[in-house]
């Protein structure tokens, strides 16, 4: 049976560098993996009132329920994110918050996670990746070890068709995806 990977892109723009990088990464998964982008653009802003059992006049949005079910059915999650103002984009933080509730059924718990960050500058999304790792650490999500993937000057990495054009970068990201797949295969999660 194939492994299901949910890919969350931390940019809503259809033509974003993060989305193009995600499409490349999806193609690097080995046979037996079904990696797909899970759209987060239409998730309502997180509001605990939706999950508070004492609040009866504010039902949980169906988008929350569907998103949580997709994440819980996943064997792993790959985050591909730019850096916005030295942190993760609001849309990605919103998705993380939605998956973190209800407390009794956290979608992220013990789920293997891969992280690819990028920036148009030289830092490669360092701050966004560190902030994302901080948010995910609460859920005991194992991640591949070193080297981490920080893609700097992302516009120069992609050709006109959106493919990563530098062979060394292709190999680097492929290696990361294969390490992520080995982490998933070695997991015996308690979920």
Instruction: Note down pLDDT in tens along the chain; length 191 residues.
Output: 799 999 999 999 989 999 999 999 999 999 999 999 999 999 999 999 999 999 999 999 999 999 999 999 999 999 999 988 888 999 999 999 999 998 889 999 999 999 999 988 888 788 999 999 999 999 999 999 889 999 999 999 999 999 999 999 999 999 999 999 999 998 654 44
The reported pLDDT for the residue numbered 84 is: 86
The reported pLDDT for the residue numbered 1 is: 79
By the 8 A CB rule, do 131 and 97 touch? no
Structure tokens at 147: 């080297």
What DSSP element (H or E) covers 66? helix 62-72
Contacts of 51 (CB under 8 A, 6+ apart): 60, 101, 102
pTM for the predicted model, two decimal places: 0.94
Name beta bridge partners: 71.
none
The reported pLDDT for the residue numbered 32 is: 96
The Cα–Cα gap between 187 and 145 comes to 14
């Amino acid at each position: 049976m194939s492994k299901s990977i949910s890919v969350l892109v931390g940019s809503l723009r259809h033509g974003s560098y993060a989305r193009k990088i995600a499409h490349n990464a999806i193609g690097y998964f080995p046979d037996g993996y079904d990696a797909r982008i899970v759209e987060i653009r239409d998730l309502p802003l997180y509001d605990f009132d939706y999950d508070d059992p004492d609040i009866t006049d504010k039902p949980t949005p169906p988008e929350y329920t569907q998103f949580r079910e997709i994440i819980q059915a996943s064997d792993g999650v790959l985050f591909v994110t730019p850096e916005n103002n030295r942190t993760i984009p609001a849309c990605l933080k919103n998705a993380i918050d939605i998956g973190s509730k209800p407390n009794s059924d956290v979608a992220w718990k013990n789920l293997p996670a891969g992280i690819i960050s990028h920036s148009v500058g030289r830092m490669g999304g360092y701050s966004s990746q560190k902030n994302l790792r901080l948010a995910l650490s609460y859920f005991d999500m194992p991640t591949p070890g070193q080297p981490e993937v920080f893609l700097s000057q992302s516009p120069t990495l992609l050709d006109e068709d959106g493919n990563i054009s530098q062979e060394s970068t292709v190999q680097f990201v492929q290696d990361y995806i294969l390490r992520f797949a080995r982490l998933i295969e070695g997991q015996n999660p308690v979920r």
